[in-house]
């Protein structure tokens, strides 16, 4: 069994981004990322701080806009519009979920598709569907990067994704399909779930339920990717996969923390660099 080291892979991705950024700076161009945070959700604050650190590491300019939970939809959309019009900001990211009373989808739609480095805008989602895209959602793209790094081929494999969110589940299924995987998506209404999952060569768990995937749900020798970021009964960080129960059964597995998480932020850096190059016709 091999533990997939997301920290190591993400460090290599960020090193490449830093190298390209240094080259752009010689031409007088610095990639810029704006992050909007509404309210004071502690988990969102951690994510935003990690994104800021990553920007510093690769040499980007990063700007943070922290709005109170009481901010109105109008204020938020006005801020997005202002950032859309700034040539020194190449990527715009609004940390979700937003506080109650604000409309996530209206904010996503307001971000210019050219600056949508999360790849959540309908236009970018549609382009992923047909396989002609500029940006990929950070988590699924980070997972594909890890599979490539470890030479895990998707071609012809049975792939099962547990979870159908727009952020992970659906785009994950599309990316596996683009690489010729045979893909099944499972969710809360799926019957005989463990029968389906225990037939998977590649199993991706993205449901947000601590330690949900047990050994009896996993095929011997499967590749198990854990997207969950949960807390167990002792308050310790864990994933959607019961790591200790499953690890001896699979060929590869991602740990939590240190697996998918670091890759998400590395991919965000890659997307922001790409946005900068596209906007500067490079």
pLDDT in tens, 79-115: 999 999 999 999 999 999 899 999 999 999 999 999 9
Question: Do 93 and 157 share a domain, yes or no?
Answer: no
Question: Do 221 and 160 share a domain, yes or no?
Answer: yes
**pLDDT at residue 41 above 90?**
no
Question: Do 179 and 100 share a domain, yes or no?
Answer: no
Per the CB < 8 A criterion, the answer to whether 87 and 58 are in contact is no
> In the chain, what's the furthest Cα-to-Cα distance?
57
Measured distance CA(259)–CA(256) in Å, rounded: 6
pLDDT-derived band at 142, boundaries 50, 70, 90: very high
pLDDT > 70 in the chain, percent: 100
Please identify every residue annotated as catalytic: 51, 95, 118
Question: Do 160 and 198 share a domain, yes or no?
Answer: yes
> pLDDT (tens digit, 9 = 90+) per residue, 112-136?
999 999 999 999 999 999 999 999 9
Question: Do 40 and 93 share a domain, yes or no?
Answer: yes
pLDDT at 93: 96
Measured distance CA(11)–CA(240) in Å, rounded: 24
pLDDT at 43: 83
Measured distance CA(245)–CA(232) in Å, rounded: 14
pLDDT at 67: 96
**pLDDT at residue 263 above 90?**
yes
97 located within any domain: yes
Q: What is the CATH number of the domain that holds 97?
A: 3.40.50.10860
Q: In 3-state terms, what secondary structure has residue 198?
A: coil
When pLDDT is averaged across residues 130-144 and rounded to a whole number, the result is 97
**pLDDT at residue 42 above 90?**
no
Measured distance CA(203)–CA(224) in Å, rounded: 5
**pLDDT at residue 202 above 90?**
yes
Q: Of the candidates 137, 81, 84, which has an alpha carbon nearest to the alpha carbon of residue 115? A: 84
Question: Do 163 and 82 share a domain, yes or no?
Answer: no
pLDDT > 90 in the chain, percent: 95
Q: How many structural domains are present in the chain?
A: 2
Q: What is the CATH number of the domain that holds 166?
A: 3.40.50.720
Domain holding 188, by residue range, is: 138-261
């Amino acid at each position: 069994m091999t533990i997939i080291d997301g920290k190591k892979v993400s460090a290599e991705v960020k090193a490449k981004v830093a190298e390209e950024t240094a080259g752009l700076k010689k031409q007088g161009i610095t990639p810029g990322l704006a992050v909007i945070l509404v309210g004071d959700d502690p988990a969102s604050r951690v994510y935003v701080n990690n994104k800021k650190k990553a920007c510093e590491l690769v040499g980007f300019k990063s700007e943070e806009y922290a709005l109170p939970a009481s901010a109105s939809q109008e204020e938020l959309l006005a801020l997005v519009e202002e950032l859309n019009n700034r040539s020194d900001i190449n990527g715009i990211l609004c940390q979700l979920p937003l506080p109650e009373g604000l409309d996530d989808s209206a904010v996503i739609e307001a971000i210019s598709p050219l600056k949508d480095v999360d790849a959540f805008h309908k236009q970018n989602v549609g382009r992923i569907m047909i396989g002609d895209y500029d940006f990929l959602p950070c988590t699924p793209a980070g997972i594909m990067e890890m599979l490539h790094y470890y030479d895990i081929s998707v071609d012809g494999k049975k792939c099962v994704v547990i979870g159908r969110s727009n952020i992970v589940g659906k785009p994950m299924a599309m990316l596996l399909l683009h690489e010729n995987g045979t893909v099944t998506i499972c969710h809360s209404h799926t019957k005989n779930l463990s029968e389906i999952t225990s037939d998977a060569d590649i199993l991706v768990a993205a449901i947000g339920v601590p330690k949900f995937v047990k050994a009896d749900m996993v095929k011997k020798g499967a590749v198990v990717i854990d997207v969950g970021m949960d807390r167990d009964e002792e308050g310790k960080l864990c994933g959607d996969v019961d790591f200790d129960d499953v690890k001896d059964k699979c060929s590869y597995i991602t740990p939590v923390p240190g697996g998918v998480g670091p890759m998400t932020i590395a991919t965000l850096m890659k997307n922001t660099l790409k946005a900068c190059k596209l906007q500067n016709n490079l």
